[in-house]
Chains A and B, each alone.
Chain A
Amino acid sequence: MSTIEAHDLAAGYGRVQILHDVSLRAAAGEVTCVFGPNGCGKSTLLKAMVGAIRPWSGTVTLDGEDITSLASHETLRRGVALMPQNGGIFPELTVIENLRMGGYILKSRKDLNERIEELLDEFPRLRERRGVNAGSLSGGEQMMVAIARALLLRPQFLLFDEPSAGLSPKLVGDVLKRAAALAERGVGVVMIEQNIREAMQVADRMYVLAAGRNRFEGTPADISDDRELMHLYLGIGKREEGTT
């Protein structure tokens, strides 16, 4: 089975170190969730994994091959894509233009158009809005654009940085269901999430980071057993402790 792994990654911005020897392993066909308080290095971890920032030390491997020093367009070619926080859509490009950008590295225009058509079949709402500037769409639609755009290259691993940020509870459910569906199709999904209870329903594997270090690693069942962790880092369960 295909895997992407981070080993002992250290990274930061300027002189400020954010990640301290963080490791993560994600497999194709699974949903791997990353939790942790704000500022604990989750986004930095994903960026370092795709080569958007260069880690100070540590390695990233894809199926055992070292991809640490590859730039993001090269990891993209190898099937590892990152959807940045808030989707990273281009607000003044139309929906179609946004999707085209998703396939920027494709050589064949015909191939690109076919894939865009496929995605518009999968996201009928986007077909209706294809000529509209993405910035004027609703939050949920913008996220749909971002997800569709990330799928265009049919990545083997898709790293989502808070795909449900700012969405209504119903849409959060939709996004998580879509992530689970992607995993069923064989994609390895790595997801930073704040909606912990909902995410635990779809996650196969979970990581908790705290202050730039690995704090926990295991299945959703494992984490439910760790009451201290649930309470301290994830803010869950203090009240429920008495009742269960």
Chain B
Amino acid sequence: MEGLAQALVTGILIGGLYVAISVGFSLAFGVLDVVDLAVGMWVVLGAYAGVKAHDWFGVDPFIFLPVTFVVFGLFGWLLGPLIYRVRTSRYALPALMGLAFTFGVATLIRGGMLTVFGYTPRTVQTDIVSGSWSLFGIVMPAIRVVGFLFAVIAVAAFLFFLYFTRTGLAVRAVAQNKESAGLMGVDVKRISSLVYAIYTGLTAMAGMLMGAVYSMTPELGLRYTLFAFFVVVLAGLGSVLGVLVAGLFLGILQALTTTYVGADYTLMTVFVVLFVILLVLPQGVSKFAKAVRT
């Protein structure tokens, strides 16, 4: 019983970070109509930014978080228009080209990181939070609690932007009907860049915290891409509330698997569960299918 409670708490704490990684990914898909296969690479890059902030500048990575957001946001701001351009091209299969493009970006980042940083797993070192708390016999490492709190704040800020600002309204409008939003005077290309920038910045920040919890290698990007897929497909693409639920669910599922089966079986369990859920609720993939067709 205690093992179960521990697994649930651990799962929810890590699930918060999965939510933070997936909300931006989900919105970027809604606005750009491209599944960004590089999502996991932004996570790993964010983690390495934390590692290197410590190695090179002696800066505590957590102080570096806002800088991470700005730097990776800038990356996204530059990359977003390229994806938009590929996706809105008039010629053959723009959806497939968009996928190929982001896959290429992911491959480039992965190769570049392996060359520069090597295969050795690294963990983000921080002196700000350490130790762990214990409550009713349940152990909560401080770093995971901080990661969860960060995720709550970041996601709340993101939702505030989306639901309570004029630009956020325009973002939601673009995600629903690009042509119509354009007719209302929205600069769809600019909004796409903005969304992509917020998404990369947010994901890299979450990645830095993830890197403080689990050790990272450039090879792990694919794993986080798959996780983000899991969350977003399960949520039903474009559903923010769904992402909150699915992200926490993924965390819990992972913790339960680790506790009762073994950490090596995480990916397998996750995808068996996704497979079964999609068999029962196929509408989760409907928008995916539409995007690939057109």
Contact = CB atoms under 8 A, between A and B. Distances in A.
Interface centre among A13, A90, A97 (most CB of B within 10 A): A90
B166 interface: yes
> How would you classify the secondary structure of chain A's contact residues: helix, strand, loop or mixed?
mixed
Contacts of B182: 52, 72-73
Given A73-B187, A104-B166, A84 B91 contact: no
B185 A92 contact: no
Interface string A11-54: 00110000000000000000000000000000000000010100
B177 A90 contact: yes
> How would you classify the secondary structure of chain B's contact residues: helix, strand, loop or mixed?
helix
A15 to B, nearest CB: 9
Nearest to B238: A92
Given A73-B186, A92-B172, A93-B173, A101 B181 contact: yes
A76 interface: yes
Interface string B160-188: 00000010011011001101111111110
Contact of B183 (A76, A77, A97): A76
Contacts of A105: 184-185
A73 B180 contact: no
B90 A84 contact: no
A92 B172 CA distance: 9
Contact of A91 (B91, B166, B170, B176): B176
Interface string B178-218: 01111111110000000000000000000000000000000
A6 B185 CA distance: 21
B185 A76 contact: yes
Contacts of A149: 184
Interface in B121-176: 166, 169-170, 172-173, 176
Interface string B88-100: 0011000000000
Contacts of A84: 179-180, 183
12 contacts: A14-B90, A72-B183, A84-B179, A88-B183, A89-B180, A90-B180, A90-B181, A91-B177, A92-B172, A93-B173, A101-B173, A101-B186
Interface of A: 13-14, 50, 52, 72-73, 76-77, 81-82, 84, 88-93, 97, 100-102, 104-105, 149
